[in-house]
């Protein structure tokens, strides 16, 4: 099985021993505590679940700057983005060396993790600007990732953490949320050797489904992990339970038995395009995938990134040998009226735009809201029905 990044075995920060976890939870109630940002909470969940292996906690400023500038930490190890715990106010923490981190996304702000504070550093405007520009490739405050990153505060708390729970992800999505540890174990149980992962934050239309079949066939994979984002999205995105139901229906009807797993992970989308694509590949290797599909405008938003920047970054910027996972580079896929099947558009050079069935997201949402299923060349009817029911429930 493919090794995790940076170690022979996964080193998740979740405390699996029940007695130890109970003792920590009890201790945490008497510790100074701070309600952290949603982004920092997502980072804790990812470290707890083993996805950010081998990180033991939040980065010091020097490591965060190194991750942003050249994807390299001060000890020479690879990590593609800063993993910070930024807070706006230090008064709840004082000079404590051990603190409780409280969850901003769960009512009552329960303790999410306990942290040994190794350093408290103030981040300058110049340093924030450098990290923002390097990771997001823009300083535009309208970019949702830029706004979230810069809205957290300017004090960086760093040090190892022990994670007590997986926030709302494990409770709200018990059938879908899986840690990297659990996915590795299931891959092993299923006997898969070559595994391709597919990232999604949307329901899967026919083109996505066919792209997964294409990747599996061309790579000779015996397993597919559909790995959906369960964290905070931007307004207008379809809620995770609806996406989950739609994807499960597609897998049930259109994939052979024991060929696809439907899973999810807890994290707030960065919308950082190319840099986030590298992060996505990083944690897919940690969960046991040998290959990862990266398509057009992966993890992008608006017009901030070029259509294939998320693919070329692996050739141009990721240090050689940093990742063992291989990238399956995909173009936009769509139904060809000429060939009567879904194709990658770059593989149909004799086609004009009108030779494909192409519908904008706006058009599809409009149709679904009116109870009209998109054409079968665009969406499976059983999947469309789940989405119609959701959109009509909003009226």
Neighbour order of strands in the sheet with 291-294: 260-265, 223-229, 195-200, 291-294, 326-329
- Angstrom CA distances, 106 to 32, 38, 52, 102, 331, stand at 19, 10, 22, 9, 39
CA dihedral 293, 295, 297, 301 (to 10 degrees): -50
Tell me whether residue 201 is one of the annotated catalytic residues: yes
Rounded CA separation 282/199 (Å): 12
Residues 250, 380 contacting (CB under 8 angstroms): yes
Tell me whether residue 137 is one of the annotated catalytic residues: no
Rounded CA separation 137/286 (Å): 26
Buried b (16+ CB within 10 A) or exposed e, 237-264: ebebebbbbbbbbbbeebbeeebbbbbb
State whether the Cα torsion 207-209-210-214 is positive or negative. positive
Active-site entry in 201, 218, 258, 275: 201
Active-site entry in 21, 109, 154, 202: 202
Buried b (16+ CB within 10 A) or exposed e, 96-113: eeebbbbbebeeebebbb
Rounded CA separation 376/388 (Å): 14
Query: Can you tell me whether residue 227 is helix, strand or coil?
Result: strand
Describe the crossing of helices 309-316 and 273-286 by its angle, rounded to 10 degrees.
70
Rounded CA separation 324/345 (Å): 28
Rounded CA separation 145/48 (Å): 22
Catalytic residue annotation: 201-202
């Amino acid at each position: 099985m493919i090794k995790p990044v940076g170690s022979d075995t996964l080193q998740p920060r979740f405390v699996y021993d029940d007695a130890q976890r109970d003792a920590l939870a009890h201790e945490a109630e008497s510790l100074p505590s701070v309600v952290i940002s949603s982004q920092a909470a997502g980072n804790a969940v990812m470290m707890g679940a083993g996805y950010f292996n081998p990180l033991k906690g939040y980065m010091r400023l020097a490591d965060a700057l190194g991750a942003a500038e050249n994807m390299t930490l001060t000890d020479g190890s690879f990590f593609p983005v800063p993993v910070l715990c930024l807070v706006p106010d230090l008064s709840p923490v004082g000079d404590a060396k051990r603190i409780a981190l409280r969850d901003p996304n769960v009512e009552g702000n329960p303790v999410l993790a306990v942290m040994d504070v190794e350093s408290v550093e103030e981040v300058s405007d110049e340093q924030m600007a450098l990290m923002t520009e390097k990771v997001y490739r823009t300083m535009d405050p309208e970019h949702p990732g830029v706004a979230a990153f810069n809205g957290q505060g300017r004090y960086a708390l760093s040090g190892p953490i022990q994670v007590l729970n997986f926030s709302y992800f494990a409770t709200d999505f018990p059938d879908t949320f899986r840690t990297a540890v659990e996915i590795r174990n299931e891959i092993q149980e299923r006997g898969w050797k070559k595994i391709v992962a597919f990232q999604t934050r949307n329901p899967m239309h026919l083109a996505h489904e066919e792209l997964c079949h294409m990747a599996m066939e061309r790579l000779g994979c015996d397993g597919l992990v559909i790995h959906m984002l369960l964290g905070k999205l931007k307004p207008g995105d379809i809620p995770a339970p609806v996406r989950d139901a739609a994807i499960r229906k597609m897998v049930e009807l259109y994939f052979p038995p024991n060929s696809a797993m439907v899973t999810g992970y807890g994290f707030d989308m960065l919308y950082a395009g190319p840099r986030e694509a590298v992060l996505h590949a990083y944690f897919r290797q940690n969960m046991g995938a040998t290959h990862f599909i990266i398509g057009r405008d992966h993890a992008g938003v608006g017009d901030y990134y070029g259509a294939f920047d998320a693919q070329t970054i692996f050739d141009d910027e990721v240090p050689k040998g940093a990742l063992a996972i291989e990238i399956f580079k995909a173009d936009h896929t769509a139904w060809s009226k000429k060939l009567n099947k879904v194709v990658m558009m770059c593989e149909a050079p004799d086609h004009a735009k009108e030779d494909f069935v192409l519908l904008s997201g706006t058009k599809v949402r409009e149709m679904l809201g009116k109870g009209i299923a998109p054409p079968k060349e665009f969406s499976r009817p059983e999947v469309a029905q789940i989405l119609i029911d959701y959109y009509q429930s909003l009226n």
